[in-house]
Amino acid sequence: MRQNPLPIAALLVLAPLAAGVVLAAGPPRREPSADVPAEKFYKNIQVFQGLPSDQLVASMQFMADSLGVKCSYCHVTSKDGPWPMEKDDKAAKNTARGMIRMMREIDRANFKGRLDVTCATCHRGSVDPASMPPLFSTVAAHPPASEAAAAPSVDAVLERYVSAAGGKDAMAKISSRVIRGTFTAANGESHPIEITLTASGKYRSSVTLEKGAFTIAYDGTKGWSSAGQGIRPMPPDEADRIRARARLFPASDLKSRFPALAVRGKEPIDGRDAWIVMARDAAGGRETFWFDAENGRLLRTLQRQHTALGDIPEQADYSDYRKVDGVEVPFTIRHTAPDRTDTIKAEEVTQNVAVDDGLFSAREP
């Protein structure tokens, strides 16, 4: 599912079945769910039998990202109506099934079933798997992180981050934030955007397009999206992504969220040295945070969306910090994923404004 030509595609969090859902026979179901296996919701499921149906699309996305292709590379398309996703007319689809079986066997036989070898291991964003080592210039462009022997403690890094943000007391006084500015997609097209987030973890963003608004919202538990064609519930994997964007201060609660934290060296981020903090939650999920070694500001985060085939990364870069109501706020945030990139530039930031909870409910904008 590579980049859509629409300028707003980089922000899409609709269920990625917009191209057409092919349901299995039986009682109608509006959305895939964790308690319904993929073969009961979709047609012609062969290698993903038993996988919860709400995890299938994310796994498809992982394969598309790993090969640098769109859904149409394997699936039959249609100009009118839903795509006949169940058809096996394209040889690439059966090749993919064979590759999944091979990958699973390699991991079973050599890595105790862990997803250590995935589609991305060999393909690296290309249809043709890599068969040669990279040239020296490619390696030199990505220097490894420095050794962590002289690194500060996790507590020291996080304390400096809190201090840079304005301090605990100032941060605790912020109940909401409204950002008005521009959203720029990879093709360079920009549109007005308004984002509202709260200290309780609620989030809403609305991008104004020529044909109306594209809106996503998350109420702290579940999410929805609307692009002028009705409301779509947000699948769990997309809700996880939005949950990360909903934090007023992305690194303020790391110790409560992650039982395992460690400083893993230092590396440059846009010309500034940054300490790398690796985090692991109780379920084994991982996130990475980069903090400016000089001033403590958060420069980058890396979130991993887990799928049945491997993890899909999404990176956020924070810059242009300015003080608003006693706390520092990044006025530029750049999101990067395998299939999209977008930049949000704030022109106006207001905080502690009254926010109606109905703003985050499932309704048309």
Separation between Cα atoms, residue 173 and residue 170, nearest integer Å = 5
Whether residue 130 is contained in a domain is answered as: no
Q: Which of 123, 146, 175 is the last residue of a domain?
A: 123
Q: Note whether 208 and 167 are same-domain residues.
A: yes
Amino acid 233: pLDDT: 85
Q: Note whether 81 and 169 are same-domain residues.
A: no
Amino acid 26: pLDDT: 45
Q: Note whether 203 and 317 are same-domain residues.
A: yes
Is residue 223 within 8 Å of 15, Cβ to Cβ?
no
E strands, 281-326, are 286-292, 298-306, 311-324
pTM of the predicted model as reported, rounded to 2 decimal places: 0.82
Is residue 85 within 8 Å of 75, Cβ to Cβ?
yes
Supply the CATH number for residue 279's domain: 2.50.20.10
Q: Note whether 271 and 354 are same-domain residues.
A: yes
Q: Note whether 323 and 215 are same-domain residues.
A: yes
Q: Note whether 193 and 302 are same-domain residues.
A: yes
Amino acid 10: pLDDT: 41
Distances (CA, A) of 133 to 88, 143, 291: 34, 16, 32
Amino acid 194: pLDDT: 97
Whether residue 149 is contained in a domain is answered as: no
Query: pLDDT tens digits for the chain (365 residues)?
Result: 333 333 343 444 333 333 333 444 444 446 788 889 999 999 999 999 999 998 898 899 899 999 989 999 999 998 888 899 999 999 999 999 999 999 999 999 999 999 999 998 999 888 988 887 776 655 455 555 555 457 899 999 999 999 999 999 999 999 999 999 999 998 999 999 999 999 999 999 999 988 888 999 999 988 998 886 678 888 877 888 888 889 999 999 999 999 999 999 999 999 999 999 999 998 888 899 999 999 999 999 999 888 899 888 999 999 999 999 999 999 999 999 998 899 999 999 999 999 998 889 876 55
Q: Note whether 118 and 173 are same-domain residues.
A: no
Determine if residue 212 is left, alpha or beta; phi over 0 gives left, psi from -120 to 50 gives alpha, anything else beta. Answer: left
Amino acid 146: pLDDT: 56
E strands, the chain, are 176-185, 190-198, 203-209, 212-218, 223-226, 231-233, 260-269, 272-280, 286-292, 298-306, 311-324, 327-337, 340-351
- Which residues lie closer than 8 Å to 285 by C-beta, 6 or more apart? 304, 306
Give residue 208's domain range.
Answer: 154-360
Whether residue 352 is contained in a domain is answered as: yes
Q: Note whether 165 and 272 are same-domain residues.
A: yes
Q: Note whether 182 and 84 are same-domain residues.
A: no
Amino acid 4: pLDDT: 37
Q: Note whether 203 and 244 are same-domain residues.
A: yes
Number of domains in the chain: 2
